[in-house]
Amino acid sequence: MPVKPVTVPPLPVTAKMPLNGESNTVVELTEQAVALRSVHAERDGICAGCLDMWARLAPHPCPQADWAERVLQQATPTT
Ligand SMILES: [Zn+2]
């Protein structure tokens, strides 16, 4: 009996994080970082994105914002 392929609904772009072994171009990574950074913004010292998405009181920068910041630092040439 053939196995039916499992279809996984696509994640919203704000939920995307690169997984180990998953290939990402620099452009894709940068787009994800920009999206993440805009969502995970500071609000009264805590992360608004973490609070809205997961009801999590995370001090800003949260791990997601920190990751996005470091990706953008690497991707953006400093002159
Ligand atoms: Zn956050």
pLDDT score for 7:
75
- Summarize pLDDT for 48-62 with one digit per residue, the tens: 999 999 999 999 999
Q: Which amino acid, residue 16? A: K
pTM over 0.85: no
Q: What are phi and psi of 46, to 5 degrees?
A: -115, 170
Tell me the average confidence (pLDDT) per consecutive run of 10 residues in the chain, 79 residues long. 72 55 76 94 96 96 95 78
CB-based burial, 69-78: b 16+ in 10 Å, e otherwise: eebeeeeeee
Q: How far apart are CA 20 and CA 31, in angstroms?
A: 18
Q: How far apart are CA 77 and CA 63, in angstroms?
A: 23
Kindly give the distance from the C-alpha atom of residue 12 to the centroid of ligand 1, in angstroms, as a whole number: 15
**Does residue 1 lie within any of the structural domains?**
no
Q: How many domains does the chain have?
A: 1
In terms of Cα–Cα distance, which of 34, 51, 55, 31 is closest to 42?
Answer: 51
Expressed as residue numbers, the domain containing 55 is: 26-75
Kindly give the distance from the C-alpha atom of residue 25 to the centroid of ligand 1, in angstroms, as a whole number: 23
**Does residue 46 lie within any of the structural domains?**
yes
Kindly give the distance from the C-alpha atom of residue 9 to the centroid of ligand 1, in angstroms, as a whole number: 23
Kindly give the distance from the C-alpha atom of residue 45 to the centroid of ligand 1, in angstroms, as a whole number: 11
